Structure 1
Amino acid sequence: MHCSNISIVFNTCLKIDRSLRQKLSSIWYKGYIFGNRPRFFHSAPTVCQTQKDDVEVLLTPQEVTVILRKNEFNKDFSHGSVKSYDSNQLQSNDPIEDTRCEAQCKMTPGLLMGVFDGHGGPACAQVVSKRLLKYIAAALLPHNLLQNYIKQEPRELIIDTFNDRAEIVQDLKLVYDKSFNEYLNKLSESVKDDTNIELCLEKGIMHLDEDISREVIEPFKDNGTINHKTLSVALSGAVACISYIDGPHMHVANVGDCNAVVGTMTEDNEWIAKKITKEHNTENYDELKRIWNEHPEEERKTVIRRDRLLGELAPLRSLGDCRYKWSAEILAEVAVPLIGQKAIPANYYTPPYLTAKPDIYYHRLTPKDKFLIIASDGLWDMMTPLQAVKLVGEHMKGKVFFNPLKLPKKNIQLGDINELLMHRKESLKSKPKDRNAATHLIRHAIGGTEYGVDHSRLAHLLSLSSDVSRMFRDDMTVTIVYFDSEFLRQCPA
């Protein structure tokens, strides 16, 4: 279940130069990105093991549980193919570079769920999580609804977000609102196929990525000014995995190395894992061929080095990361003054080297499909898709015992009640420790062994400072979406 080679995990986690990440993070967190409201994206101090008479004292089970449950969230739905979802995240970096976002489309049907894994600092992932679902929801609007929406004054919210506690400060909000309004106008002027969900997902992702770049370049070309706030977003990066679920229809857009996996129950009551996505990294040979074909033959040895793009970046597609998209001339004028010559990667001859273009996958949900797991690679580094599916399946089975006992009929005999209680007592042995399945997965990812969760292992790994923790694990973000089997059973084939 766990990766025994520490260097492999470390190399996966360290997706971009450490000093660059720290520099961009310090710019982003100088107090002018988020307002005074409580931040969902936080930079919490690492909990350390205590010392008593020179003897190391591990965190107690209660302290471990408090840490693991800190960022839990769950929501139930009263109708549709999605019954509920659980989500959670656990930081390794300080500040955490993962983010997540979930929302209901308000003017069209469907739920959007996204997990975003940042690198080079938290800025890009945080901004993408705040903006991307709006861009996608706008692209999904039929042309007549889009025209009406543009004319609205004041304009209603296009999505209803859940667990969204972050607030962009006013000056950046003005920049982002201007970009979104221009995007709406471009959508209204384009030829629109309202039925092509794949195209809508791609359009929303690609246009936001273009805006992240344009918000830096246009002011610089117009008047020579460089906005360090928008620049820090453009120079950091984020991979993304977004699902759009409308009834039995599920589309997943993937950029980078997050993954989506469906947990399916067979006729024999066995769990199987359907991996929906493919990572954009050097383990994906089709990705390697794509990149090699986009650059001259003489760059074949330099465009991918040490299993990284230009020897630096582990994911081979991402949003932001304009250090691999802008020309060398623009980088010299815009980025070098902020972060030095390292802004221009070695062997940088024929940019762009990077794209945010997503791969889009379609899966028609059936009653056998019980849940979807979307998670950053921090989870998948520690367990396989099948291990994750089996853990969530076991959690589903044991979760019923969190609920109060309900008697099956009014006139039940005392002997039957006693038998029911005895059965429940026996079954409680399999009751999971966490009600939230995302927490259950994270607990097993960090502390799991073939014999169950090892508290000492879990407590030790949760006590490490961020610079040491990164050698063992990455940030983890997990969202688990539960499907309504009865709803899906009634959907026409």
Structure 2
Amino acid sequence: MLSRLMNFLRACWLPSSDHYVHRSLDAAGRQDGLLWYKDIGQHMSGEFSMAVVQANNLLEDQSQIESGPLSLLESGPYGTFIGIYDGHGGPETSRFIYDHLFQHLKTGFTSEQQSMSVDVIRKAYQATEEGFLSLVTKQWPMKPQIAAVGSCCLVGVICGGTLYIANVGDSLAVLGRLVKATGEVLAIQLSSEHNVGRESVRQEMHSLHPDDSQIVILKHNVWRVKGLIQVSRSIGDVYLKKPEFNRSPLYAKFRLREPFKRPILSSEPSISVHELQPHDQFIIFASDGLWEHLSNQDAVDIVQNHPHSGSARRLVKAALLEAAKKREMRYSDLKKIDRGIRRHFHDDITVIVVYLDSNLVSRASSVKGPTLSVKGGGVNLRAKTLGSCDTPAEVNTT
């Protein structure tokens, strides 16, 4: 009797134990080495699946799904918010976006007193960028390298049968759409890529900076803005937006030889609006770590041809299999490589698959549903970094 009581107490008070990780109801996701996953969950318009695999010593990807109220108003609207934040140079910016962007969207909508809109989303991005700039300004004297930390930022908002997609950087949102005549499910890319590896983006940079012939440089066979960074838009990366932060004591490798007069990178998101149709099956949101190894159509085929549960984890595994294949090694051996060293084989990869139930999608945005908040997890590691460095998996449901 006593032993059974002790086992019960252990189960209640030791949530980080193997009992919790492997036998819980998957409320907060599960951990398997460097892989965190939540195989299935319910949002207001259907089901979802999430997975994150860590490659960097500190996880630079952050992600979240929020379902329920999209404002601080009791009258609504209600819907689902999806965010993928792919950091670079460190985890500080992606964590800042996780902490602030959705809240800016909620408060921005409340102050605007109108329906969800492109303008509300754009202002949320702007407020997040300005907030991070304030943080950099405050920390610059003690931690100047934070000026060279940034993040891509991909957001989806489903509200009242409408899908909003906003993006800075090179994460992608890809829709799986059923073609009734053939039964095929086609991949339709919904987000714009801001990566100078694309000729159209290089042309855009040249047109924005006609007086700078070196605005984009081919370095080690990779196109980079000023020879430093591949993305042309981001949150953060203040050292390429404000000249006062592109100087000593910032590391010399980030400092430009000549001062610049206008921002080199932009934080302005590309935003598109889509009226969801009954034949729209699901959307894959993922950081570029996935798309480096899988084509849009390959990813859609994997999701379409398997059960909903575990779809995000399945996509991550497919990407890792490709990464192992490229290095002529076995997948089982790749899985044994620890964080930090793993970055030489693949990037952090974050995937959220959002399924669309047409009966639920068509409901008015004033219809209340269960409130859900899930953060993509990773290895919980305490260490010295530029900012706070805990990355726990969190979930709050009411």
TM-score (norm 1): 0.60
The 3 A distance-change label for structure 1 pair 128 and 373 is same
Which amino acid letter does the alignment assign opposite residue 301 of structure 2?
Answer: K
* Matching residue of 2:153: 240
Deviation of 1:256 after TM superposition, in Å, equals 0.3
Helix, strand or coil at the partner of 1:371: strand
* Matching residue of 1:199: 119
The 3 A distance-change label for structure 1 pair 347 and 472 is farther
1:66 is the counterpart of 2:32: yes
* Matching residue of 2:266: 355
Deviation of 1:68 after TM superposition, in Å, equals 6.7
Deviation digits for residues 183-206 of structure 1, max 9, x if unmatched?
Answer: xxxxxxxxxxx3461111111102
Deviation of 1:126 after TM superposition, in Å, equals 1.2
Which structure dedicates a bigger proportion of its chain to helix? 1
Alpha-carbon separation, structure 1, partners of 2:276 and 2:301: 19
Deviation digits for residues 288-329 of structure 1, max 9, x if unmatched?
Answer: 2332122243x22344443101101011111000110111x4
1:253 is the counterpart of 2:127: no
Alpha-carbon separation, structure 1, partners of 2:358 and 2:277: 7
Deviation of 1:274 after TM superposition, in Å, equals 0.9
Alpha-carbon separation, structure 2, partners of 1:487 and 1:474: 35
* Matching residue of 2:183: 269
Alpha-carbon separation, structure 2, partners of 1:273 and 1:118: 26
The 3 A distance-change label for structure 1 pair 489 and 70 is closer
Deviation digits for residues 93-142 of structure 1, max 9, x if unmatched?
Answer: 11111110121325332211000101001111111111111112222225
1:301 is the counterpart of 2:214: yes
Alpha-carbon separation, structure 2, partners of 1:130 and 1:469: 27
Alpha-carbon separation, structure 2, partners of 1:70 and 1:143: 37
Deviation of 1:461 after TM superposition, in Å, equals 1.5
Deviation of 1:233 after TM superposition, in Å, equals 4.6
Alpha-carbon separation, structure 1, partners of 2:167 and 2:201: 13
- Aligned CA-pair RMSD: 2.8
Which amino acid letter does the alignment assign opposite residue 86 of structure 1?
Answer: S
Deviates more, 1:345-354 or 1:373-382: 345-354
* Matching residue of 1:459: 332
Alpha-carbon separation, structure 1, partners of 2:102 and 2:155: 9
Deviation of 1:458 after TM superposition, in Å, equals 1.6
The 3 A distance-change label for structure 1 pair 382 and 240 is same
**Percent pairwise identity:** 26
Which amino acid letter does the alignment assign opposite residue 58 of structure 2?
Answer: P
Alpha-carbon separation, structure 2, partners of 1:232 and 1:115: 23
* Matching residue of 2:109: 140
The 3 A distance-change label for structure 1 pair 347 and 309 is farther
> Which structure has the bigger radius of gyration?
1
Counterparts of 1:15-414 in structure 2 under 5 Å?
A: 66-67=32-33, 70-72=36-38, 74-77=40-43, 80=44, 82-104=45-67, 105-106=70-71, 107=73, 108-141=77-110, 143-144=112-113, 194-195=114-115, 197-217=117-137, 226=141, 228=143, 233-267=146-180, 268-297=182-211, 299-306=212-219, 307-327=223-243, 329-332=244-247, 336-337=248-249, 339-396=250-307
1:480 is the counterpart of 2:348: no
Which amino acid letter does the alignment assign opposite residue 110 of structure 1?
Answer: G
* Matching residue of 1:445: 319
Deviation of 1:249 after TM superposition, in Å, equals 0.1
TM-score (norm 2): 0.74
**Which ranges of 4 or more aligned residues in structure 1 deviate by more than 6 Å?**
none
The 3 A distance-change label for structure 1 pair 74 and 207 is same
The 3 A distance-change label for structure 1 pair 265 and 68 is farther
Deviation of 1:341 after TM superposition, in Å, equals 3.0
Kept in 2, the 8 Å contact 1:212–1:320? The answer is yes
Could you list the runs of 5+ residues in structure 2 that have no partner in the other structure? 1-14, 17-30, 365-398
Deviation digits for residues 377-411 of structure 1, max 9, x if unmatched?
Answer: 00000101111111001113xx5xxxxxxxxxxxx
Deviation digits for residues 408-462 of structure 1, max 9, x if unmatched?
Answer: xxxxxxxxxxxxxxxxxxxxxxxxxxx321101111121269xx9xxx7221222
Helix, strand or coil at the partner of 2:355: strand
Alpha-carbon separation, structure 2, partners of 1:97 and 1:216: 18
Could you list the runs of 5+ residues in structure 1 that have no partner in the other structure? 1-37, 40-64, 145-193, 400-434
Deviation of 1:90 after TM superposition, in Å, equals 0.1
Kept in 2, the 8 Å contact 1:114–1:242? The answer is yes
Kept in 2, the 8 Å contact 1:323–1:345? The answer is no
Alpha-carbon separation, structure 2, partners of 1:247 and 1:90: 32
Alpha-carbon separation, structure 1, partners of 2:348 and 2:91: 11
Alpha-carbon separation, structure 1, partners of 2:157 and 2:36: 27
The 3 A distance-change label for structure 1 pair 347 and 395 is farther
Alpha-carbon separation, structure 2, partners of 1:471 and 1:214: 33
Deviation of 1:254 after TM superposition, in Å, equals 0.6
